[in-house]
Chains A and B, each alone.
Chain A
Amino acid sequence: MTSQVEVSESTEDEPLPVAPVAGMPAQNGDGKRVTKLDRVVIRFAGDSGDGMQLTGDRFTTETAGFGNDLSTLPNFPAEIRAPAGTLPGVSSFQLHFADHDILTPGDAPHVLVAMNPAALKANLGDVPRGAEIIVNTDEFTKRALAKVGYAADPLGDGALDAYSVHPVPLTTLTVEALKDSGLARKDAERAKNMFALGLLSWMYHRPTEGTERFLRVKFANKPDIAEANVTAFRAGWNYGETTEDFAVSYEVAPATAAFPAGRYRNISGNLALAYGLVAASEQSGLPLFLGSYPITPASDILHELSKHKNFGVRTFQAEDEIAGIGAALGAAFGGSLGVTTTSGPGVALKSETIGLAVSLELPLLVIDIQRGGPSTGLPTKTEQADLLQAMYGRNGEAPVPIVAPATAADCFTAALEAARIALTYRTPVFLLSDGYLANGSEPWRIPEPDELPDLRVPFATEPNRPDGSFWPYLRDPETLARPWAVPGTPGLEHRVGGIEKQDGTGNISYDPANHDHMVRIRQAKIDGITVPDLVVDDPSGKAGLLVLGWGSTYGPIAAAVRRVRAAGGEVAQAHLRHLNPFPANLGEVLAGYDRVLVPEMNLGQLAHLLRARYLVDAQSFTQVTGLPFKAEQLADALTAQLEVQS
């Protein structure tokens, strides 16, 4: 998936085939068959302590390096170590990779790796009949089965007859492979995820050098553990190569046609966002100051930025959410690019300071990595239900621009865009990412620094009144932005505050007419922000149905649109990056279609805004499961709309 918000004409992200069988069988040197596939969805599932996220990450990195297009969906509980072997403790990582451009982590896995009965039970419902299931039989003990409510062993009672099951004693094989390592049995067992990774790497012809190098670096201080993991990884590979249970391996060719020429890397949303912030600092020439309080799923941005002090990046882990944004705003007053990162509950606490930033008219980035709510909600799951909080969640009339990235890699460009608006218009800006984008990853074409926008803005250096005085609220007639005069500038000493102020002078004013004027001019400044027109993908130009989304639903919506079009349906697609202000042509676009469907991971917040603003009968399609939409589900919803229409 590329980071552009436009719909590619390439191969459809087609409905899931039953088991990866179609293809061109060939014999390899060992007499094993090799089948070519165009795409595969794998899900690794195990206990929270089984290292499934690491296993998935490594498989992803191997796959990215191989040149496939890919998309990932990590899914884990909020507890660090939920009780072992229980359903709530199951952690999984799904990876979709292909020889062509893909848009989602896949609706359902072709291959499920289940490290214990809980992982099998929690995930089986998503696995279509005919798919392959690799189970760690060592964990299928009476006690472990009973713990998750299996009355009988599903490996023996025919419950899995509809699937292609590979029973593998992963733990025993791993311990056996490490019997000469000198490790205690318990430590040896912990390498079983690397055995599984080795086996899957063999099945899908993944390169292995990178993982071996990674393990040696990760465990550089514990060489015996490093070697044990490498040994287990190789043992898993060899197991696939030699055992008869695995008669077929699969090739998924690099997705050469899917990508424009360039240099690529794999990147997660939070990493892309952190890099976008560093880039915004470099491109604006302003030092980056991050004030933040740890919160899932945003903390990784704090972790990442704290590594880049050699870019002049200051990271401040505050005592609470309010201090995080307060410090960022204080730094912005001093001329830094002030940023705070959080999730929905943190935004609630920061609201008053955001209002202050609106009143002070200082640039500030508020990054909200949305998660399930209300309250603590679902800390590790995704949702888009903070849109109205970002739009309206403050006292008084306090408009704040909102930017939303569409994909993991797009978080990079969205951060630059949010910075452009904040710096140009001297305003706090919301960037709404979510848990799905934050933790998911995809290939990213690495931009050259000279492709990046110039974000430099001038500080005020001279008095701006004929009498030689300085008015801090004398506005730029084009942007309505006020001058940014930072402390240390002689002659421009001034005071700002949250009390209403007289336009121009900035002096405290309770004058009724002035307040009315200031409320309206702050709104006009935000309404007047220049944002690109909405681009509509409507190949025939004859579609009567428009599907309009925002944020992380881009992938599933675009995949659904491909399916519907492949089946002969006509549907137009558009995706909003700017939620406030909306693109100037949005009303016109909406008016051009008979029906508008708005899929959202909330109860219809964008639809609500559209209906209020444009008097359009936008229909909501909503889901709040903590998981992204599936393409099939959205394709069905689109098809239903087309049927109503015809």
Chain B
Amino acid sequence: MSTETHAFPSLGLVPKAAAPQSMKDFKSDQEVRWCPGCGDYAILAAVQSFLPELGLARENIVFVSGIGCSSRFPYYLNTYGMHSIHGRAPAIATGLAASRPDLSVWVVTGDGDALSIGGNHLIHALRRNVNLKILLFNNRIYGLTKGQYSPTSEVGKITKSTPMGSLDAPFNPLSLAVGAEASFVARTIDSDRKHLQSVLRAAAEHQGTALVEIYQNCNIFNDGAFDALKEPATRDQALIRLEHGQPIRFGSDNGMGVFRDPATGDLTTAAVTADNADRVLVHDAHADSPTTAFALTRLAAQDTLHNTPIGVLRSVQRPVYDTQMLTQLDQAVAQRGRGDLGALLTGSDTWTVD
């Protein structure tokens, strides 16, 4: 298969579907068992209706998940799937992707699964740049264990395990990802299907590990956590939609912009005026340096969610682990020939007994 002709270069080795597919091809026969009103339903529907667009043979798609509400995801997709153990999905998916370049491998995880018990695997998958697409459903709470605070919960969160308020400072998942050398970092929202699918498309196109943080509402234990980004009254002020190559403007009538503070190099927001309009930061997702992408991850206020960038913050090309692993195998054969078991076992220092 040629990579040039494929719409998704990252999937160049994955066989294509023989016939056009539809959303129903990707629905499994299993009853979906999330709580009514859960944001996961919207994400599932968005993924099911997006997958046909990839045009891949369905049998070459694999979803691997860990433990948590979101990790039931693979059961509901009619692809190959594995519902594994808590936090380990990136490690399991790494072994699968590294040994099978003909597969499109997706990881579904949550804020507890990916950032708490599985934090180590997440950062190492990102730095290795294995050809994986990681969908991190962030609801800022533990749902399946019934409502404890998570590593993305805001400080002071009152939960079952923190009746006087949580003490630990949360992770900013995208800051963590940029710090872990991630080559693709994006954020989207469960309720905005169009945006969600555009980010999934960009992730699928990316060669290497893609981390997509999806703000997902848990209507049972943390309802309304992202309302500031969804309510018509607040969303224009809260959401910053990033587009590569475009000045970063937001707010009603795009009256606000993101600027670089010349004194600190940090990013700030301000009203756009005739004087400063030419200084609005132009988003460059492909910048080699992660500095500006990191600064973008720091724009949002943890408590109010004001100035929350969504879209692709960073998307850069760098060597892909599984591709390089395959290259080394090919090189070894080219240099030494295909391994000969008899010769290996014999070695160079032998003697004969008659």
Contacts and interface: CB of A to CB of B under 8 A. Distances in A.
Given A261-B353, A318-B91, A334-B96, A498 B85 contact: yes
B36 interface: no
A377 interface: no
Contacts of B337: 310
B30 A487 contact: no
Nearest to A258: B353
Given A495-B75, A508-B75, A266 B93 contact: no
Interface string B71-93: 00011011111111100100111
Contacts of B60: 487-488
Interface stretch (A59-67, A231-239, A588-596, A630-638): A59-67
B91 A323 contact: yes
A308 interface: yes
A404 to B, nearest CB: 22
Interface stretch (B99-107, B160-168, B240-248): B99-107
A328 to B, nearest CB: 6
Contacts of B331: 309
Most chain A beta carbons < 10 A, residue from B79, B81, B337: B81
Contact of B345 (A312, A335, A447): A447
Contacts of A323: 88, 91, 94, 120-121, 124
Given A264-B353, A308-B339, A330 B328 contact: no
A448 B98 CA distance: 32
Contacts of B82: 330, 333, 360, 495-497
A554 interface: no
B100 A67 contact: no
Given A65-B349, A67-B353, A448-B342, A309 B328 contact: yes
B350 interface: yes
B58 A493 contact: yes
Contact of A310 (B98, B339, B346, B349): B339
Contacts of B62: 333, 487
Contacts of B332: 308-310
Nearest to A318: B91
B274 interface: no
Interface stretch (A274-282, A556-564, A568-576): A274-282
Most chain A beta carbons < 10 A, residue from B77, B80, B347: B80
A265 B83 contact: no
Contacts of A318: 91, 124
Contact of A265 (B98, B342, B347): B347
A488 B103 contact: yes
Interface string A243-281: 000000000000010011111111000000001001100
Contact of B81 (A61, A287, A309, A496): A496
Given A64-B351, A263-B352, A265-B349, A329 B95 contact: yes
Nearest to A255: B353
B312 interface: no
Nearest to A279: B341
B57 interface: yes
Contacts of B124: 318-319, 323
B344 interface: yes
B37 to A, nearest CB: 22
B330 to A, nearest CB: 9
A446 B350 contact: yes
Nearest to A319: B124
A449 B341 contact: yes
Contacts of A117: none
B84 A497 contact: yes
Contacts, number: 204
Nearest to B62: A487
Contacts of A356: 84-85
B325 interface: yes
B4 interface: no
A210 B349 contact: yes
A490 B342 contact: no
Most chain A beta carbons < 10 A, residue from B57, B325, B344, B346: B344
A278 B91 contact: no
A320 interface: yes
Nearest to B17: A490
Contact of A492 (B59, B75, B333): B59
Interface string A492-516: 1111111100000001100000000
Given A67-B353, A310-B338, A323-B121, A289 B95 contact: yes
Contacts of B92: 326-327, 329-330, 333
Nearest to A340: B95
B115 interface: no
B64 interface: yes
A326 B99 contact: no
B346 to A, nearest CB: 5
B261 interface: no
Given A261-B353, A330-B94, A310 B336 contact: yes
Interface string A333-353: 111101000000000000011
A418 B120 CA distance: 31
A261 B94 CA distance: 46
A291 interface: yes
A494 B78 CA distance: 7
B354 interface: yes
Contacts of B273: none
17 contacts: A67-B353, A261-B353, A263-B351, A263-B352, A311-B341, A314-B325, A314-B329, A318-B91, A319-B124, A320-B120, A322-B88, A326-B88, A332-B95, A487-B59, A487-B80, A495-B75, A496-B81
Given A256-B353, A497-B83, A498-B83, 9 more contacts: A65-B349, A263-B350, A265-B346, A316-B98, A326-B91, A326-B121, A330-B96, A496-B83, A499-B83
Interface of A: 61, 64-67, 210, 256, 259-266, 275, 278-279, 282, 287, 289, 291, 308-312, 314, 316, 318-320, 322-323, 326-336, 338, 352-353, 355-356, 360, 446-449, 487-499, 507-508
Please name the 7 residue pairs, one residue from A and one from B, whose CB atoms are nearest each other, closest first.
Answer: A497-B83, A327-B95, A330-B95, A326-B91, A311-B339, A309-B332, A323-B91
